[in-house]
Structure 1
Amino acid sequence: MHATDPSPPPLPSHRPLLDPAAEYGRWITERPLARISLWGDTHPWLVTRHADARTVLSDPRFSSENVRPGFPGLQPTPPPRTPGQLFAMDPPDHTRLRRMLIPEFTFRRIEQLRPAIRNITGDLLDGLVKQQQPADLVEHFTLPLPLLVICELLGVPYADRDFIHRQAAAFATVSAGPEAMRAGWAALFGYLQELLSAKSREPGDDLMSKLATERVATGEATPAEAAGLLVQLLIAGHETTASMLSLGVVALLRHPGQLAALRADEDLVPGAVEELLRYLSVVHIGLRRIATEDVEVGGVTIRAGEGVVVALQAANRDPAVFADPDTLDLTRDAGQHLAFGHGLHHCLGQSLARAELQIALPMLVNRLPGLRLTGAAAEGYAFEGRAIHGVRELPVAW
């Protein structure tokens, strides 16, 4: 019924700091499955309801291959096919490559990393309290923490952190244009190819060494595929968690009752992290798919070759699933949230992200009971044109 909308509205690229764009609150009831405008005459379907999002993300008739004609990509120009980009692959290649990484991201493996994450968090807090106030929480805590963890896990030198973050940020900045995004990916790809080659000669006890000696050396993966996997892990392994940590701090400080409850009851922490993931939904450009055959979703037929954008931030505020969804409630059961996606492309590193958030947020707010935002409103520091919502800096005092 919406397929013939004469002027589909644009996909919102703006948003307040802690909430989705206001349009989503209306669309989830008024036009939950309808056309939007991306660029040129591209008008994919926008999915906002939780149930419809789960359907699209779990149905194999929706492809993730972003080189297919009509795919609703981030840019008008289709990207070159790059080895190892799991987010842009379908089975069987997706299955083959993802299976290589699963042993390193099991719940048991991540639980073994918790002491190391606590040590890293404690060291960063020791450094933070030595800074002159106000200090930038992003620079001294929320960015280096996940970057240190993922570098240690992968076997990437943390000394190269400035280069790594600069290139990762370039790839994630949609507004910079396709060439800048590709250049960021290409720079990290070349860097990790060299590291992978070195690890094949002198392996260590890290994921990159295992890929080099157990997968590439045996012919299960090409060096390019392995490097592509590592680029994705390196970017996703710190960008999203850094944003969640920063925005999680802002959300807690703006809800002092919730913060007090978190400080008073450590048993609240796991559920509180799930609620923050639901409430903030930092991936705000939507998960993109294209139908490979006609599929009915929510009473609407999506034709083969038509694109779909799944708005996670809308699905995570669906009142049919979450009562009073615009309220931050750390005691609610938010276990059905889709912040990590759903289906075969659900986030491989979600256990790692949960562990970092469950450890870092309580340690921060308990170590610094007087923690507060300073200076200009935090909105002034929000990223513009980024695929991952967050802040560039976050001045705080304590």
Structure 2
Amino acid sequence: MTEGLLISAPRSGSGKTVLTLGLMRAFARRGLRVAGAKNGPDYIDPAFHAAATGRVSLNLDTWAMGPGLIGGLASLATTDCDLLICEGSMGLFDGVAAPPRASGSSADLAATLGLPVLLVLDVSGQSQTAAAIAKGCDTLDPGVRIGGVILNRVAGDRHRRLAADAIEAIGLKVVGALPRSTTLVLPERHLGLVQAEETVGLDAMLDAIADFVAMHVDLDAVQALARPLAHATPGSDASALPPPAQRIAVARDAAFSFLYPHILQGWRAAGAEFLFFSPLADEPPPADADLCWLPGGYPELHAGRLAAAGTFRDGLRRFADKKPIHGECGGYMVLGETLIDADGVTHRMAGLLGASSSFAKRKMHLGYRDVTLEADCSLGVKSARLRGHEFHYATGFDGAIPDLPFAMAADAQGNPPAPSGTRRGLVTGSFFHVVAMRT
């Protein structure tokens, strides 16, 4: 049975991602079959996991997914695998107000799957106080077990000994101490890390990170912390969303890259076929597809090229005359009238929906969404409920003739539902990213 562990920290910015990637690559170089997973909604980290391990990394989310789906996806992720390394999100206990084990926190996922937590502590600016933080993480939730601790940003041997001795005195094992490093930093942009496929020299960088981690972490001790996964039953249902069509044209390039692997795998397992095309290469959606899906991504970084891609836009309009199109976030922006980039330049988009979007004044929209569809569409029938999230910096605004709403969306804070996205004819779009159908 596959064993696993979850890497978390008391807060964001503690070094989880670099440690996760280093451990993944280091164990893979030892000959282990390593699988990755990511707690919560995140497109970018799983792509780095896949580069480090050579396997698809799946998202697991206790707010958006029920225990059965989480178990099914965990089983799928660990097929023919020796070790699962799951990267947490934010701080260990950070989530939303929700029933027990459904907050979306890393702690809830660890408890659901029985994964011990490898706790990363950024000890810069402290020493023995790190033990108090570790003890709090270890005792706050009886269902969450801290298996071991790794110190990060250690200033020197004396600093390491002070922090490690205090932590081990409360009964927790320190299995590594990473010194401060300014060279092993992954490039970032406004939604997080620069995408894996855009990171120059990624493979060499992953090897360098693995070398660094292997030098300062007891890999044998880390592997010994792993435990068999609970509720990961082979054959469990891993379908988060029924396929919207048999033959699905999917935009895929640097502008359209945010489509969750578990969604694609579920559609493929249900018999759907994918026809990938590149709007940036001015390719239209294949005419023999039954539906066109425009995922999220970074169209704002490529707005000029998309505006000049006449063959793509004309093909999209012809497709919309007879067959459905759906756009998520970035895809939604491209379906609208215009996109204003960060420099204030207005770019003409497909015009299949009336809304426009602007990055001239950035405003972050972030959080879970519980969505109810307003009409039958490619994602389901009227009144079907979906769970997912928004994460973008664009401001959306209606055109001269507003379209009908795509859905009503409630957040996780209990605010009243509000219209989300728009629809016109066979075309739908929204800033909402679907994670799973609500059951």
Interval of TM-score (by shorter of Structure 1 and Structure 2): under 0.3
Q: Which has the higher strand share?
A: 2
Q: If you compute each CA radius of gyration, which structure gives the higher value, 1 or 2?
A: 2
Compute the TM-score of the two structures, normalised by the length of structure 1. 0.26
Q: Which has the higher contact order (CA 8 A, sep 6+)?
A: 1
